[in-house]
Amino acid sequence: MAIELKNISKSFGGVHALSDVSLTFGGGKIYGLLGPNGAGKTTLLNIITNRLYADSGEVTIDGEAAPGRDRALGKVYMMAEQNLFPESMKVKGALKVTADFLPSFDLELAMSLAKKFDLPLSKKVKALSTGYSSILRLVLALSAGTPYVIFDEPVLGLDAQHRDIFYRLLMEHCGGGEQTVILSTHLIQEAAPLIEHAVIIKGGKILRDASAEALTGAAHTVTGPAGLVDGYTAGRKLLSETAIGGLKTACVEGEPDARIPAGLEISPMGLQDYFISLMNEEDVK
């Protein structure tokens, strides 16, 4: 059971937003969809949810294909970009209306999550601040109960405390293996502990599609005096390097040597460091 994209391409005018993209999202994992602005992330998500149609290729949801796959689309909830409820509707009413239209929606859970976020249930939706308007959409998505839940830049406009609450609730309610989550975000460092599988996209092309553990385990950083670092990295593939004064830090593909020369510090590469190094490498090409 999975969302499968096969050879998806999409252009806007003469600009290729997606080029022959093939991906699978499933297995109850939390996927990180990572890429710079304009990489094609939102276009990809909109094609999955039928908000856009691909120029070529096929999307299937649990094996069901073709535009108009209404039953299959009922298994996917994508966090809305804005609240479209009537201006006079209160937050509590918005939760109840969603429960009426979405059979899998857990109203009791939504009420509980609203309390954890301090979301005022008696306030009109139109009167919510930008941050709380985003929180309402988060609560709806976290409570959707569908097999697939999609978040596109979900924490924009949220303060650090509310972002932390969201990440914890996402793990608690969507990270148990029963739901597959696609999380598109620029805040990689914050989201990294949640991400089990990373899809890295740039210029409409998939650069990496692998478990986060495999990606971060495939490289490491070495820091120390420039001469020692240069000696250590000789003959290795460098993802990136920076120098300040006489010190240098290099991101190196592959596992570290069993014996590390004195004066060098070796550390595992985090997902954000890997992403930045990969983007820098692609920019040089």
Give the pLDDT confidence score for residue 79 in this predicted structure. Answer: 93
| Cα 270 from Cα 218, distance rounded (Å) | 11
> Judging by DSSP bridges, how do beta strands 30-34 and 76-78 pair with one another?
unpaired
Give the pLDDT confidence score for residue 69 in this predicted structure. Answer: 62
What class has domain 218-284? alpha beta
Q: Which residue intervals of the chain bear CATH 3.30.70? A: 218-284
At 83, list the tokens.
């609240």
Does the pTM surpass 0.85? The reply is yes
Q: Strands of the chain (E only): list them.
A: 2-12, 15-26, 30-34, 56-61, 64-65, 76-78, 148-152, 180-184, 197-202, 205-211, 219-225, 238-244, 247-253, 265-268
CB 169 within 8 A of CB 194: no
| Vertex 137 angle, CA 136 and 143, to 5° | 90
User: What does each of the 285 residues of the chain score in pLDDT, given as a tens digit?
Assistant: 899 999 999 999 989 999 999 999 999 999 999 999 989 999 999 999 988 999 999 999 998 886 656 677 789 999 988 888 998 999 999 999 999 999 999 999 999 999 999 999 999 999 999 999 999 999 999 999 999 999 999 998 899 999 999 999 999 988 778 899 999 999 999 999 999 999 999 999 999 999 999 988 888 999 999 999 999 999 998 888 889 999 999 989 888 888 888 999 999 888 998 898 888 877 655
CA 165 to chain centre: 17
Phi, psi of 161 (to 5 degrees): -65, -45
Task: Out of 3.30.70.100, 3.40.1160.10, 3.40.50.2300, 3.40.50.300, select the CATH number for domain 2-212.
Answer: 3.40.50.300
Please report which helix (H) or strand (E) contains residue 263, including its range. Answer: none
Burial of 92 per CB tally in 10 Å (0-12, 13-18, 19+): middle
| Cα 21 from Cα 10, distance rounded (Å) | 9
State the amino acid at position 276 in one-letter form.
I
| Torsion on CA atoms 209, 215, 221, 227, rounded to nearest 10 | -60
| Cα 83 from Cα 67, distance rounded (Å) | 25
Q: Which residue intervals of the chain bear CATH 3.40.50.300? A: 2-212
CA 111 to chain centre: 25
